[in-house]
A and B are shown apart, each in its own frame.
Chain A
Amino acid sequence: MGTYLVRRFLQLAVVILLATMVIYALLNAVPGGPLSGVRQELINTRGATGANVASDMARLQRDFDLDLPVWQSYLRWLIGWPKLADRPNRGGILFGDLGDSWQVARGQSVASLIQSRLGNTLLLMTSATLLSLLVAIPIGINAAVRQYSAFDYLATTGAFFGTAMPVFWFGMMMIMIFAYYFKQLGWFYLPTGNAVALRPYDVPFLGTVLPETILDRGLHLVLPTIVLSLLYMAAWSRYTRTSMLEVLRQDYVRTARAKGLVERLVISKHALRNALIPLVTIIALQIPGLFGGAILTETVFNWPGMGRLYISGLNAGDWPLVMSLLFITAVLTVVSNLLADVMYTFVDPRIRLS
């Protein structure tokens, strides 16, 4: 176990290092540089020989270390070394200095920008993950226990439709039905757009809902959670079914039945526990998503979370922001992969890491 962990940590370090190189190269090695769009914008507004285009560009290049050799600017971004006398010190992204945003929220640090969005994403992702697990596991178990029954076929077909469904369109259809038409008809409807309302609104049965109350937040959360859950449910119910079928074929299940145990206990005590072991992987691999959010769902519902932050960063050409988000997601993905493997050995002692 010890040597295994050491080896995995070394691998992890190499992969993270490679990922930072790819991220940095992607965003900085573009011909014309990451600021080529900005130069065009300056020329458009001020004319090619307009006031201060050249000097403004030079200042921006300097701010982003783009006038330095690539290896120097990469290292300064990564670890804050080499320190240069005529420029502000950088902490380095490996040590937690994510830099400052310069387009989405000029002057604000990327860390504080993330802080302002992370709560919303955590709320959405946790509720979607919990809801999907609560629905998917019973469905998967039932489908496996009654294999080839009507329920199994229904679950299989449902999962088929769920995986084929483009999530952004599903979201729009939900908004159309439950937010638009239900409201038109005067029925109980669900508010959408943003995570909270701006002003009080009336909903049948509930009366007037005040903005930023728990009720308001809850109502806004319902539709995005359902939409996001559909995808997970489709995948995870299939996963549970396969895993349960695998376990039901095992000898110890036959033994349990042979010694006369009631079927209910065979399922709940012997099979279920073992069938749920692979789900540990799913939960661990959900970690980067908890941080990164769901780009498509957040866009459709205008949910102010990390996914939308990423999109607005990309749209605005806010490279420090985009690089930070890519970096954090990559690190979390690698770490959660390791975590999944390690957790697996704890819940399933049969597996030995070597």
Chain B
Amino acid sequence: MATYSATAEELLTTKQESQLHVIWRRFRRHKMAVLGLVIILSLILMGAFSSYLTPYERDEPTADINLSPSGLHWLGTDELGRDMFTRIAFAARISLTVGFAVTFLTTLIGMTIGSVSGYFGGWVDNLAMRLVDFMLTIPSLPLLLVMSKILSSGGFIIQFPESVLRFFGWIMAVSDIKSIQQVLYIILILALLGWTSEARLIRGVILSLREQTFTEASRALGVSHTRIITRHMIPNALAPLIVASTLSVGGVIVVEAALSFLGFGIQPPIPTWGNLLQNAQNDLWLYPWKALYPGLFIFLTSLSFNFLGDGLRDALDPRLKI
């Protein structure tokens, strides 16, 4: 008897599902997003194991210059005889590091400014939003180029802590201090100009949450402003924030590639997808295949992050879908 009633109970009540499980189930339905996630994970693995994938040295010139793709050199060699696949795999480390680091910083800055501005309102809000408006009126690519030019001209020297330099050097497999600094400059510039959309997003969410009863209740209980923002508001803003950040990583990678392509980003011999393309452009009429692969990786990465963001939007918050 007892066993029967237990089964009936089991059949009648739906099984408890954890929040993550629900999200994962919804996310899985979005086939392209899953594919995007798989591609991103493989790119990360490709970057992480870049030194074991091929028998070639990244920066060592050889006599086999400008070979077309073959079994020996999967994606051919460049004008100094270096294996293209090795360089592209290493470049994944740089591009992904820049993409994630910039997004981390813009999210942090945007979250701080957006939540303070939305929560307190008044002149703080006014000032912050005028700053955002102002930054949006300045054309971004020309400004990025100028700032990159100024920083790389050697006029400014920012002292980064030793540990930061060592950490980024380790992630990107770059030992030369000057090159690491160059990458950090690019990260700083992109972060400095990129936080506006995140700030607006968070501000919007906070503005709507500020008037809700649970905020009023917390305030009546004497909870501090910082705690209300970090414990009650930011968690509520997490879904749109994760989506925006994911989309931002793809965008940052394309912008970094554009800067390097124009010669204002990270300089050779450190390979990035952008500066590999710049070299390829000079040889476009002699060895056109050299332009194909670095750009294909940029496109694939940016597309994957876009699909991933789209899938996350559906999975995290179905209301967000337009």
Seen from chain A, the residues whose Cβ lies within 8 Å of a Cβ on chain B are: 15, 18-19, 22, 26-27, 30-32, 36-37, 160-161, 163-166, 168-170, 172-173, 175-176, 180-181, 242, 288, 292, 295-296, 299-300, 310-311, 314-315, 322, 325-326, 329-330, 333-334, 337
Contact = CB atoms under 8 A, between A and B. Distances in A.
Nearest to B298: A166
Nearest to A183: B285
Nearest to A177: B288
Size category of the binding interface on chain B: 35 or more
B284 interface: yes
B263 interface: yes
B98 to A, nearest CB: 14
A173 B296 CA distance: 10
Q: Which 4 A-B pairs have the closest CB atoms?
A: A169-B295, A30-B155, A164-B303, A164-B302
A296 to B, nearest CB: 6
Contacts of B4: none
Interface in B127-177: 134, 137-139, 141-143, 145-147, 149-150, 153-156
Given A31-B156, A36-B153, A314 B284 contact: no
25 contacts: A15-B134, A30-B153, A30-B156, A36-B155, A37-B153, A160-B310, A163-B306, A164-B254, A164-B299, A164-B306, A166-B257, A166-B258, A166-B295, A166-B298, A169-B298, A169-B299, A172-B277, A172-B291, A176-B291, A181-B288, A295-B141, A299-B262, A314-B264, A329-B142, A333-B137
B179 interface: no
Given A295-B262, A296-B258, A329-B142, A180 B153 contact: no
Contact of A337 (B137, B285, B294, B310): B137
Contacts of A310: 142, 145
Q: Report whether over half of chain A's contact residues are helix, strand or loop; otherwise say mixed.
A: helix
Given A176-B291, A176-B292, A314-B264, A292 B303 contact: no
Q: Report whether over half of chain B's contact residues are helix, strand or loop; otherwise say mixed.
A: helix
A337 B137 CA distance: 9
Contacts of A166: 254, 257-258, 295, 298-299, 302
B284 A176 contact: yes
B280 interface: yes
A198 B260 CA distance: 30
Nearest to B150: A30
A330 B295 contact: no
B140 to A, nearest CB: 11
Interface string B259-271: 0011110000000
A290 to B, nearest CB: 13
Contacts of B236: none
A242 B321 CA distance: 12
A180 B139 contact: no
B258 to A, nearest CB: 6
Interface string B218-262: 000000000000000000000000000000001000100110011
